[in-house]
Amino acid sequence: MPTHTHQRVLAASLVLALACTAAAQQPTPAAPDPVATLVGRLSLERYKATIKGLTQFGDRRQGTERNRKAVDWIEAQLKSYGCTNTERIKYIYDPTGAPPAHRYPSQAHAPGEAVIGPGGARERGNIFPDRVNEDPMKQPDPVLRALDTPPSVPGEREEVYCTKVGTKHPDQMYILGAHMDGIGWGEAANDDGSGTALVMELARIFSSPDVTTDISIRFALWNNEETGLNGAAAYVAQRKDLQGIESPAGSGKYPEPKWLGMVQHDMMMFDHGMPHPDGTMSKTQRPEADINIEYQVTSKFADAAMLLARNFQLADDKYADTYPAAVGPHMTNTDSTPFMNETPSLSLREVERGSQMAAGWDPQHHQPTDVYSFYSDDDFRLGLNSAETTLGAIGTLAGAKLTPAK
Ligand SMILES: [Zn+2]
């Protein structure tokens, strides 16, 4: 079979030629990965300290002085990190007559009947209710109870963001978000101090004077998530039609760069597994704990969001030191929802929102036990790994580079 032999010889020559070429080249050391350097600037102690700083304002319930003080504190921190171009969204929140948000009445289900949770996810196994605590006396700490006592008053609300301006594409951006308000008569340490601290830490790292990005990145700390995503919805309503407009014309400035994606971080720390049959939980982070990256399969940008989610999962492989990441299609009940028909949108969490959180996998959710002192370093580290994942993914997608500090 001469032809076959001839092909083999050709193939062998090709291999030899490639080998010779490789041998002839000087081994070039791989260029250091700037994104890995940036990920190395995260630390568990800094992440914990930022969460701790947020908890000084108790539950940060929207429409209270403690919430407004928390917005001021967040803005001061962003400026101190070098993210000095802070801006605020203002909107009115008046729930008079509106039904309360975040209520999922528990229903009885026949054995074997599929239980469908929020976002279209199927709940399985031991399913327990996920409720909001509204009883002040369930908070055992009188100082914290007093701090959380002044009620929300309808009226004007504010939320803050700042932006890392891209050097090549200042007209395009990724939005990284978390909500700074909470409920439940605790400290909202996990919900959502953990996501707010993550976004603030990324603002700190990307704002370092030796870091440039090709594409802009906006760091947004939403208010009024707990009342029904009102702060994020106000942002979308006020700013979606401003995307990509240079203003003033010819200035090279884009107050609202075109949205390339929105990534929300909401409850990043507690993955102790499914409730036991008696409703108790494992006291420790499960060794298999993972980061749950969710998109919404019914959204307009579902396919693009799925690809973005895979980018995040691969960034976790590359940059997150302890915990893996999984991708799911039922993103729901968080500030990425108002964005999901405008741009590819994701949510990162400790567990899946619809199938797991709604089935009782986080008994601190909206409860007096959601306080800083409740969590162990294994819990905090899951949040840190999410920070590593988002920093790795967005640093890569936005073209982050290191330049000599001026
Ligand atoms: Zn939340």
Between 17 and 255, the higher pLDDT residue: 255
User: For residue 4, how far is its CA from the centre of ligand 1 (angstroms)?
Assistant: 64
User: For residue 190, how far is its CA from the centre of ligand 1 (angstroms)?
Assistant: 8
Are the C-beta atoms of 164 and 216 separated by less than 8 Å? yes
User: For residue 255, how far is its CA from the centre of ligand 1 (angstroms)?
Assistant: 28
Position 14 confidence tier, pLDDT thresholds 50, 70, 90: very low
User: pLDDT tens digits, residue range 280-298?
Assistant: 999 999 999 999 999 999 9
User: For residue 2, how far is its CA from the centre of ligand 1 (angstroms)?
Assistant: 69
User: pLDDT tens digits, residue range 339-381?
Assistant: 999 999 999 999 999 999 999 999 999 999 999 999 999 999 9
Position 96 confidence tier, pLDDT thresholds 50, 70, 90: confident
User: For residue 171, how far is its CA from the centre of ligand 1 (angstroms)?
Assistant: 30
User: pLDDT tens digits, residue range 124-170?
Assistant: 999 999 999 999 999 999 999 999 999 999 999 999 999 999 999 99
Position 1 confidence tier, pLDDT thresholds 50, 70, 90: very low
User: For residue 226, how far is its CA from the centre of ligand 1 (angstroms)?
Assistant: 7
User: For residue 61, how far is its CA from the centre of ligand 1 (angstroms)?
Assistant: 12
Taking residues 82-90, report their average pLDDT: 98
**pLDDT value at residue 100:** 58
User: pLDDT tens digits, residue range 25-72?
Assistant: 666 777 789 999 999 999 999 999 999 999 999 999 999 999 999 999
User: For residue 87, how far is its CA from the centre of ligand 1 (angstroms)?
Assistant: 22
User: For residue 1, how far is its CA from the centre of ligand 1 (angstroms)?
Assistant: 69
User: For residue 225, how far is its CA from the centre of ligand 1 (angstroms)?
Assistant: 7
How far is 219 from 91, CA to CA, in rounded Å? 19
User: For residue 335, how far is its CA from the centre of ligand 1 (angstroms)?
Assistant: 9
User: For residue 196, how far is its CA from the centre of ligand 1 (angstroms)?
Assistant: 10
**pLDDT value at residue 29:** 75
User: For residue 193, how far is its CA from the centre of ligand 1 (angstroms)?
Assistant: 9
